[in-house]
Amino acid sequence: MGHCSCFGLWGWRETKAKNHDDKYAKKKSKSQLSSVCSKVNSEPTLPSSAPIVEPNAENEGKTFTYRELATATNNFGAESFLGQGGFGRVFKGQIKNSQDVAVKQLDLTGLQGDREFLVEVLMLSLLRHPNLVKLFGYCAEGEQRLLVYEYMPLGSLEDHLHDLTPDQEPLDWNTRMMIAAGAAKGLEHLHNEANPPVIFRDFKSSNILLDDGFRPKLSDFGLAKFGPTGDKSHISTRIMGTRGYCAPDYANTGKLTVKSDIFSFGVVLLELITGQKAVDSSRGHENQYLVTWAISKYKDCKNIKEIADPLLRGQFSESTLKKALEVAFLCVQRKSNCRPCISDVVLAMNYLTSHPYNPIESTNLMAKDPQMGDSPTGTKRILHKDLDRERAVAEAKMWGETWRERKQMQQCSADGVNR
């Protein structure tokens, strides 16, 4: 996969330590999906030699009867109703072992059908990661199509960003960056660990669910596709996705790559930073798309803090805000080969989450020296007291880059960003 050289601006190109908690045992199985792949990914079909992760006993989905799920959800009653999406209605239920679950019922008159149902069962049966929602089982009885997931008590990321109720507390900066970092790790598993790679194709804030610790998990794999293998650079498929999140190169050509997901991630990161919706006609025709609005706002505003979500009430580091915007803008570049790969995005987000905002320390430091708040060195002293000398020197070099190098980065963005 291509790598945009300008993404090395912060010196993130380092050996990435693997976390044993994020690794899972893999087994090769050529026959596991041979009968299913032609139905799910007929454009193109999976190569017969492609190694597939074989689900173990813990990860295998259970087949539920319709009666069991009706009982679990109080006959799909209004008191169990959680919400509705493209697939259909979602209900909270409790299965026999007192496990809370979310039951998603296919809307028989909706746009999605058996194919999307099959894709979701297939994908979530094969893929297992802390940042992917867990599938407990499914029901395919008669015309009924239902999916049974782990219950995510805090709902979707969208619920915590837009149209908040008066009694709802907005997400703070540190939580927003933690959510973005976790979602990026979920995508990294799909792109780099799954074999063949999986393109999510519908990455958006409503498809990022949150557990009771605001830990994110990707959900709704109905539009997912197996990515290109061998020497193929893309797969050609009908254009699907959500307006405002869909990469322009995919929307214009139907050529799908993992970089399409990177664009969508950039849009979600902009949502987290700005609090704005991916598409909002109230911003005017020219700025109805968040990407266009954010770029225009970034160029025009005299104070970068103006682009941040007002609900943050200024509780963030300005230098970290700038870095987060850089990541987002690199992800939403119009030219797909200028977008970073997911591994670089994960490194970037790890960098941002390692610089948490501390309002107490920030206030104390600003009281001593008001000019330090906007200084990269000052921010480093606030957030990196325990850094060793080598990393401190590396950060000093990072911020000592010449303006020529920064101009090159800006030129790359100017050539490729979706205007």
What value, to the nearest 5°, has the Cα angle with vertex 179 and ends 194 and 111? Answer: 65
Q: State the number of CA atoms in the 13 A half-sphere of 85 facing the CB.
A: 24
DSSP assignments along 345-360, one per residue: HHHHHHHHHTS---HH
C-alpha to C-alpha distance for 399 and 121, rounded to whole angstroms: 47
What value, to the nearest 5°, has the Cα angle with vertex 321 and ends 318 and 322? Answer: 90
DSSP assignments along 297-332, one per residue: HHHH-SSGGGGS-GGGTT-S-HHHHHHHHHHHHHHT
Query: Two tokens at 291?
Result: 């990407």
**How far does Cα 418 stand from its chain's mean position?**
19
CB 333 within 8 A of CB 345: no
Catalytic option among 202, 220, 309, 344:
202
| Sign of the CA dihedral running 326, 332, 335, 337 | positive
Q: Which residues lie below 8 Å from residue 396, measured CB to CB, with a gap of 6+? A: 377
Is 202 one of the annotated active-site residues of the chain?
yes
Q: Is 104 annotated as a binding residue?
A: yes
Q: Which residues lie below 8 Å from residue 249, measured CB to CB, with a gap of 6+? A: 255, 259, 260, 334, 335, 336
Beta strand 135-139 with 255-256 is: unpaired
Annotated binding residues for ATP, written as ranges, equal 104
| Catalytically active residues, by annotation | 202
Annotated binding-site positions = 104
